[in-house]
Structure 1
Amino acid sequence: MRQSENHPSPSVSVHRTMTPLEWGLLVALSVLWGGSFFFTGVAIRELPPLTIVFLRVALAAAILLVVLKAIGLAMPKNRSVWLAFFGMGFLNNVVPFCLIVWGQTHIASGLASILNATTPLFTVVVAHGLTADEKMTGGRLAGVLFGLVGVVVMIGPAVLDTFGTNVLAQLAVLGAAVSYAFAGIYGRRFKRMGVPALATATGQVSASAIMLLPVVLVADQPWTLPMPHPTTWAAMLGIAALSTALAYVLYFRLLASAGATNLLLVTFLIPVSAVVLGSLVLGETLQAKHFAGMACIGLGLAAIDGRIMARLRAETGSTTDATNVSATQSDPAVYQGRDI
């Protein structure tokens, strides 16, 4: 670790087309984050929202610190790295978690899910302006729009009736999506710094817990709350260990290799995971809108991935674009990224 801190690795390219392993990790991440809705639904019966958010990151930090010690990996002591941890925790946890929690006290969870699914759209725009290797393309933008339509179709048109009411709450959830987009670009720096994904995940949630502690003490006064039931503690352990600790290890692993735009496609897959898990575990019935939404999301992901369009261009004899893309990916001078 010390060697990596003193000699950070150079900026490297991200994959514009994800590998099968990266797609598998993305699906796994969507399942872990989709499961967080179940755990939160159990915990919210006895605990206030901000306390849940704090316990989520604090318990995840404790778990990851134990894992780091067990495998003999030391946390970085470099001041600049810890400043980056606090910046990432602020953008990726403190701001969006608080905005979403407040927003969902005024709007339906379905509408909040749709607004949160705009994250890849904001990420495409932010990445285009702030990086050199994640520029917007027609296929990528079309894919994001297809995915957004898929989320709307899957959740159903009835939830859209609430658009226009509680405007501040809707803007809060959109603000969270924007914060996630900036976090995705900001987090690219950890690979350049040579910080492993496990250490990055640990540092981010630790910094988030430190920042959230005074907020929770003032807002919720947790010492006044009755002792939660063991079921609630089990739910908190699940959301901390699986939906936060393990999920963020996958998050930073994917961010380093696949880039922010590809990584944040997970917000399209989370509703799919939630619907499928509800069908398999809870016996819920899949409706036509679910299949239609999944089809739109699938088209969007395929458009962003780019392989199908590349094959179509190749079959029609249009090889110019493929040649340009190949040259761009193989030329490190062209494919260098810069971070905010």
Structure 2
Amino acid sequence: MSRYRNLLLFLILATLWGSAFVAISAGLSYIPPILFAALRYDIAGLLMLGYAVYAVEHWLPRGRLEWTQVAVGAVLLIAAYHAFLFVGQQNTTAAAAAILVSLSPVLSTGFARLLMPSDALSPVGIVGVVIGLVGVGVIVQPDPANLLTTGSVAKGLVFCAAAAFALGSVLTRRLDASLPIETMEAWSMLGGALVMHLVSVAIGEPIEPAAWTSPEAIGALAYLSVGASAVGFLIYFDLLERLGAVEINMVSYVAPVVTAVVGWLYLDEVVDTATLAGFALIAVGFLLVKRRAIRREVGTVRSRGSSE
């Protein structure tokens, strides 16, 4: 029964996070990108903080190390990641954005090895990272004669989002402040929202009154804040404890499938052959980079099954 429960929650999480990219595209028609991302995490951060207060005793960071971990999460995992993603997604499809973001687990491994030279990547791992980056190139399709086309720049920004998230994941783990993940996520969301509000004001993003009367804009914001962020992260916390980091990373490769289907149904977006090929390369890169951890997880699952 537990196995079916985990599978159901995994599919729900993939659906929430995959369809979130479509909600972003829908909301960007009404709300400026960085302000949109900031509002999302105003709401999600407050909801997550309420959950942290309820779920853990250590809901308020203490000391310099814990607040440093929160600051890194706020700047990289929330602010930089979502600012790049939302700005980039104005001029690329939701499916392409989801696929580029799925490179994050591969980049995380690369950053971890760079920051910890004693734990170097094996030759096969290096090949995996390179294949993942080739997948990005296939999706972006840069034109050497004109690298600054709107589509290429947009996809490049989404790639920067994936890189910011990967770097933030590695740095927050290295700090090892023993802060509960619920607490770290809640305060990072609120801090990241504040950073994005400051950036939004600094660049003078316009606030259109019509956005606040549009059912589609309000629906997109509510879905992203409550569904994809608050509910999504609660499911993520539960599965992380039950499945571990490697298995939960696989949601990054199911979510783009959901994005492609929902984007086609709701936005009439079509996934081209190059995007599919890039996704396949990124997935192969992930399997090569994480091959040892995946083998360990498969062995663990088999041993559980034989003991039941």
Same-fold status (TM-score > 0.5):
yes
CA distance in 2, matches of 1:77, 1:87: 13
Do 2:13 and 2:235's aligned partners in 1 also have CA atoms closer than 8 Å?
yes
CA distance in 1, matches of 2:141, 2:205: 32
Decide which of 66, 70, 79 is 2:50's aligned counterpart: 66
CA distance in 2, matches of 1:308, 1:263: 12
Decide which of 104, 121, 125 is 1:136's aligned counterpart: 121
Structure number with greater Rg is: 1
Shift of 1:43: 1.6
Decide which of 44, 64, 68 is 2:28's aligned counterpart: 44
CA distance in 2, matches of 1:228, 1:162: 41
Paired residues, what number? 287
Residue 165 of structure 1 is matched in structure 2 by 148
Of residues 229-238 and 20-29 in structure 1, the stretch that sits farther from structure 2 once superposed is 20-29
CA distance in 2, matches of 1:34, 1:299: 20
CA distance in 2, matches of 1:142, 1:58: 40
Question: Match for 2:73: what amino acid?
Answer: M
- Tell me whether 1:245 sits opposite 2:236 in the alignment: no
Decide which of 168, 181, 189 is 1:197's aligned counterpart: 181
Question: Match for 2:86: what amino acid?
Answer: V
Question: Match for 2:111: what amino acid?
Answer: V
- Within a 5 Å distance, the mapping from 1:218-257 to structure 2 comes to 218=202, 219-220=204-205, 222=207, 225-226=209-210, 227-249=212-234
Shift of 1:185: 0.5
Do 1:197 and 1:249's aligned partners in 2 also have CA atoms closer than 8 Å?
no
CA distance in 2, matches of 1:106, 1:288: 18
Do 1:46 and 1:228's aligned partners in 2 also have CA atoms closer than 8 Å?
no
Residues 295, 244 of structure 1: alpha-carbon distance in 2 compared, 3 angstrom cutoff:
same
Do 1:184 and 1:255's aligned partners in 2 also have CA atoms closer than 8 Å?
no
Kindly report the root-mean-square deviation, in angstroms, between the aligned alpha carbons of the 2 structures: 4.6
Residues 210, 243 of structure 1: alpha-carbon distance in 2 compared, 3 angstrom cutoff:
same
CA distance in 2, matches of 1:23, 1:138: 33
CA distance in 2, matches of 1:93, 1:299: 27
Shift of 1:225: 2.6
Decide which of 192, 203, 217 is 1:208's aligned counterpart: 192
CA distance in 2, matches of 1:221, 1:288: 36
Residue 88 of structure 1 is matched in structure 2 by 73
Residues 187, 309 of structure 1: alpha-carbon distance in 2 compared, 3 angstrom cutoff:
closer
Residue 12 of structure 1 is matched in structure 2 by none
Residue 185 of structure 1 is matched in structure 2 by 170
Secondary structure of 1:187's aligned partner: helix
Question: Match for 1:36: what amino acid?
Answer: A
Shift of 1:37: 1.4
- Tell me whether 1:98 sits opposite 2:83 in the alignment: yes
Do 1:124 and 1:135's aligned partners in 2 also have CA atoms closer than 8 Å?
no
Of residues 30-39 and 20-29 in structure 1, the stretch that sits farther from structure 2 once superposed is 20-29
Shift of 1:109: 6.0
Q: Which runs of 5+ in 2 are unaligned?
A: 297-308
Higher-helix-fraction structure: 2
Residues 213, 128 of structure 1: alpha-carbon distance in 2 compared, 3 angstrom cutoff:
same
CA distance in 2, matches of 1:247, 1:26: 10
Residues 273, 307 of structure 1: alpha-carbon distance in 2 compared, 3 angstrom cutoff:
farther
TM-score scaled by length of structure 2: 0.69
